Amino acid sequence: MATSIAAANISAQAFRMMELAPISSFADDSPQASDATEQYPIALGMCLEDYDWSFARRLVNLPPATLPSGIAVDVELPNTYALPGDFLILRHVVPECTLWRIDETLLRSDQTGSITIRYTRKIDDETRLPKVFQTAVSAQLAVLLMPRWVKSRTKKADLISEAGTLLQRARDNDRQSASAARYDGRNRQGDWVAGATS
């Protein structure tokens, strides 16, 4: 469980969003701190899984791995790779034509030799998270905590709406982290609007 100042601040903000007194730290001897400690990693994971965030994106080459004892070879996807320890969700596999499937902590593939993947990783240092994303995690945490701590149906609806709005704002901010690209294997196309108006 993360106990950084940033994580504690995210949790404190979640209680402010619920219009409750914020916890001072995860070490508080209170039901609020206990609930925040339990739900914080889930809220963070949910937000990280939502999008291919630049700050959590990692590109790696995976060497072939030996199957653990008792795990069978898949004749259609005979090559196996161990997923990284910080792996959260797969975003892209290279080469484009690769057939693949994730089984537990293994990536099975028809590709021989090493394979390149882009994935979203788990975050251990919350201070490196953009502020808008931190606020989106606070909102998601508030949504997870609200069944116990929020009584008003209107407030619950507002929290759900706010969580969606903040996550979209974080996505919009992060879209400026790379040039436009296609991920469907097709060639890039020109800007038809610029071509038609020039």
Residue pLDDT, tens place only, 130-151: 999 999 999 999 999 999 999 9
61 three-class SS = strand
pLDDT tens track for 103-120: 999 999 999 999 999 999
Q: What is the CA radius of gyration of the chain?
A: 21
- Say what the pLDDT of residue 3 is: 53
Tokens of 135: 């606020």
Would you kindly state where each structural domain of the chain is located, as residue ranges?
Answer: 5-52+124-176, 54-121
CA distances from 171 to 70, 122, 128, 150 (A): 42, 17, 16, 27
How far apart, in whole angstroms, are the C-alpha atoms of residue 37 and residue 86?
A: 20
Q: Give residue 126's identity as a one-letter amino acid code.
A: E
- Say what the pLDDT of residue 2 is: 42
How far apart, in whole angstroms, are the C-alpha atoms of residue 158 and residue 150?
A: 11
DSSP states of 76-145: SS-EEEEPPTTEEEEEEEESTT--EEEETTEEEES--S-EEEEEEEP-S-GGGS-HHHHHHHHHHHHHHH
- Say what the pLDDT of residue 6 is: 78
- Say what the pLDDT of residue 143 is: 98
Is cis: bond before 95, omega within 30 of 0? yes
Helices (H) and strands (E) in the chain, counts: 5, 6
pLDDT at 180 > cutoff 90: no
The predicted model scores a pTM of 0.84
Among 118, 112, 119, 82, smallest CA distance to 98 is for 112
* DSSP annotation of 58: E
pLDDT tens track for 45-82: 999 999 999 999 999 999 999 999 999 999 999 999 99
- C-alpha of 147 from chain center: 23
Q: What is the mean pLDDT of the chain?
A: 90
Cβ–Cβ < 8 Å for 136, 163:
yes
